[in-house]
């Protein structure tokens, strides 16, 4: 039994040795599911190939423990800088095979030598997805304060500083091979009357146009909306309507980004996704889950059916041959789990939701919808959602060099303990940048 071995979870031999004792059971489960799906007219290998093609970017801020408004409880061996964050991201990618890129957050991930950072990433086998700017916090030594806003501030000097930071993010992203800038601002008002609602949006459009003008060819500007927090009365880009208006005003390289936690409870997010697909402006996702607000919990941990329904829209659009290439990114950071484990769990949940969506019998569903057969139509979705696709996911991971049981293998590797010894906590530091 190779079950008790500790080792490097990034090592292909270590993963192969961990997979060996589980392979026979997986084969049997895969065969059984294959016959079941064949009776439904589905070729399991085609689903597995498609599942193996799925990729989601990791948030650099997610490999550290996040905080709440009250406290942060860092775990042992958390990464202390962006180089160490990439090491953890590489572990997640090796074991799941689903997370080949990292989304950086600047200036949290600022470093002195981006050439060295890129070389480090290449050595680890990871690349870079969208860069995120940050004008929702003041940094030490910063000239102008964002206390009353950034891109929408009443003072031109503050807006100019925020625009310049975004242009700097584009420059850094360019050095690393990124092709998108994610723009989320916390600007807004806590009290009625505090801010002129119309003028704040006009200032946003003006500032965003200056950033847009600095986008290289082939880049996308991903505009992220969020209903509230830190502005509790009115947030300038609070919903997909504001985001879409901005994207349409800016030009063809501007798109809307949907963070699943950024809506009021019970909002029908899959319908927002459908509308943005229709408008040709769905740029991507920040995947996470939430019960009440911007909880940033693991994807699929609270409402896996909603996650499935979001993927159902994406798979349906592909089936209708709508040209669509949304960026998939995780955005999570919380307090009680090992972040590496949580990110692996989320990446696998996304792959699961998408694989389930691939099982929907679309011609049959379309016919049921035409016939207004509400009951059987909704059952058609449930049938796909309730199929246990675990053997498909495991096979897809193995085909990419990943683990049959990523979480088990990670725990047995002792990686966290190794990091605890190699990375003594920096005094007072917050590796995620959050709180």
What minimum distance in Å lies between the beta carbon of 172 and ligand RM4?
16
What minimum distance in Å lies between the beta carbon of 360 and ligand RM4?
29
- Contact map string, positions 19 to 38, toward ligand RM4, x by CB under 6 A: --------------------
- Please say which residue, 187 or 331, places its beta carbon nearer to Mn ion: 331
What minimum distance in Å lies between the beta carbon of 226 and ligand RM4?
6
How many whole angstroms from its chain centre is CA 21?
32
CA neighbor of 144 nearest in space, from 162, 163, 132: 162
Number of residues that bind ligand RM4 (CB under 6 A): 10
Does the protein bind ligand RM4 through residue 294 (CB under 6 A)? yes
Letter string b/e over residues 248-274, b meaning 16 or more CB atoms within 10 A of that residue's CB: eebeebbbbbbbbbbbeeeeebbebbb
Does the protein bind ligand RM4 through residue 187 (CB under 6 A)? no
**Partner in contact with 132, chosen from Mn ion, ligand RM4, none, beta carbon below 5 to 8 Å by kind:** ligand RM4
Cis peptide before 230 (omega within 30 of 0): yes
Number of residues that bind Mn ion (CB under 5 A): 4
**Exposure of 422 by Cβ count < 10 A (0-12 exposed, 13-18 middle, 19+ buried)?**
exposed
Does the protein bind ligand RM4 through residue 255 (CB under 6 A)? no
Does the protein bind ligand RM4 through residue 331 (CB under 6 A)? yes
Angstrom distance (rounded) from CA 397 to CA 291: 29
- In this chain, which of 84, 87, 187, 259 binds ligand RM4, going by CB under 6 A? 259
**Exposure of 372 by Cβ count < 10 A (0-12 exposed, 13-18 middle, 19+ buried)?**
exposed
What minimum distance in Å lies between the beta carbon of 178 and ligand RM4?
15
DSSP letter (8 states) at residue 75: -
Does the protein bind ligand RM4 through residue 207 (CB under 6 A)? no
CA neighbor of 154 nearest in space, from 204, 190, 223: 204
- Contact map string, positions 209 to 248, toward Mn ion, x by CB under 5 A: ----------------------------------------
- Within 327-346, the residues that bind Mn ion by CB under 5 A are 331
- Please say which residue, 286 or 334, places its beta carbon nearer to Mn ion: 286
Does the protein bind ligand RM4 through residue 334 (CB under 6 A)? no
Angstrom distance (rounded) from CA 31 to CA 311: 25
What are the backbone dihedrals phi and psi of residue 251, each rounded to the nearest 5 degrees, phi first?
140, 180
- Within 262-321, the residues that bind Mn ion by CB under 5 A are 286, 294
- Within 264-283, the residues that bind ligand RM4 by CB under 6 A are none
Does the protein bind ligand RM4 through residue 165 (CB under 6 A)? no
- In this chain, which of 146, 184, 285, 415 binds ligand RM4, going by CB under 6 A? 184
Residue linked to tokens 């990871």 = 126
What minimum distance in Å lies between the beta carbon of 432 and ligand RM4?
8
Residue linked to tokens 């484990």 = 341
**Residue whose Cβ sits closest to ligand RM4:** 184
What are the backbone dihedrals phi and psi of residue 223, each rounded to the nearest 5 degrees, phi first?
-95, 120
Does the protein bind ligand RM4 through residue 129 (CB under 6 A)? no
Does the protein bind ligand RM4 through residue 133 (CB under 6 A)? no
Angstrom distance (rounded) from CA 355 to CA 308: 9
Cis peptide before 243 (omega within 30 of 0): no
**Token pair recorded at residue 157:** 């000097």
CA neighbor of 165 nearest in space, from 134, 208, 205, 138: 134
What minimum distance in Å lies between the beta carbon of 267 and ligand RM4?
16
- Please say which residue, 42 or 222, places its beta carbon nearer to Mn ion: 222
- Binding residues (CB under 6 A) for ligand RM4: these are 61, 105, 132, 184, 224, 226, 259, 286, 294, 331
């Amino acid at each position: 039994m190779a079950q008790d071995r500790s080792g490097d979870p990034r090592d292909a031999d270590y993963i192969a040795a961990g997979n060996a004792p589980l392979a026979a059971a997986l084969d049997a489960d895969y065969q059984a599911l294959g016959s079941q799906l064949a009776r439904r007219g589905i070729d399991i290998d085609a689903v597995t190939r498609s599942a193996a093609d799925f990729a989601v970017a990791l948030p650099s801020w997610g490999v550290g423990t996040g905080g709440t408004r009250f406290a942060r409880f860092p775990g042992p061996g958390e990464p202390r800088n962006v180089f160490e964050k990439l090491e953890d991201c590489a572990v997640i990618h090796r074991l799941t095979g689903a997370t080949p890129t990292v989304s950086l957050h600047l200036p949290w991930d600022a470093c002195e030598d981006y050439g060295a950072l890129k070389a480090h990433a290449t050595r680890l086998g990871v690349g870079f997805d969208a860069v995120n700017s940050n004008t929702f916090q003041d940094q030490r030594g910063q000239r102008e304060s964002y206390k009353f806003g950034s891109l929408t501030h009443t003072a031109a000097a503050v807006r100019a500083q925020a625009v310049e930071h975004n242009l700097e993010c584009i420059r850094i992203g360019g050095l690393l091979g990124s092709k998108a800038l994610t723009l989320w601002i916390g600007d807004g008002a806590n009290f009625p009357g505090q801010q002129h609602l119309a003028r704040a949006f006009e200032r946003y459009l003006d500032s965003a146009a200056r950033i847009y003008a600095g986008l290289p060819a082939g880049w996308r500007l991903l505009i992220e909306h969020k209903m509230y927090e830190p502005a509790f009365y009115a947030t300038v880009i609070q919903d997909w309507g504001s985001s879409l208006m901005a994207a349409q005003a800016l030009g063809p390289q501007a798109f809307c980004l949907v963070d699943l936690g950024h809506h009021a409870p019970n909002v029908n997010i899959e319908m927002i996704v459908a509308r943005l697909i229709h408008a040709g402006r769905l740029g991507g996702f920040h995947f996470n889950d939430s019960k009440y607000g911007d909880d940033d919990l693991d994807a699929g941990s609270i409402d896996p059916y909603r996650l499935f329904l979001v993927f159902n829209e994406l798979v349906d659009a592909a089936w209708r041959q709508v040209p669509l290439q949304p960026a998939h990114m995780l955005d999570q950071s919380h307090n009680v789990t090992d972040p590496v484990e949580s990110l692996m769990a989320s990446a696998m949940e996304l792959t699961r939701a998408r694989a389930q969506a691939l099982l929907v019998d679309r011609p049959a569903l379309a016919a049921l919808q035409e016939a207004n057969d509400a009951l059987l139509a909704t059952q058609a979705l449930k049938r796909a959602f309730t199929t246990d696709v675990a053997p498909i996911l495991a096979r897809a991971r193995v085909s990419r060099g990943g683990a049959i049981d990523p979480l088990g293998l990670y725990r047995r590797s002792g990686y966290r303990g190794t990091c605890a010894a190699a990375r003594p906590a920096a005094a007072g530091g917050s590796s995620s940048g959050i709180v």
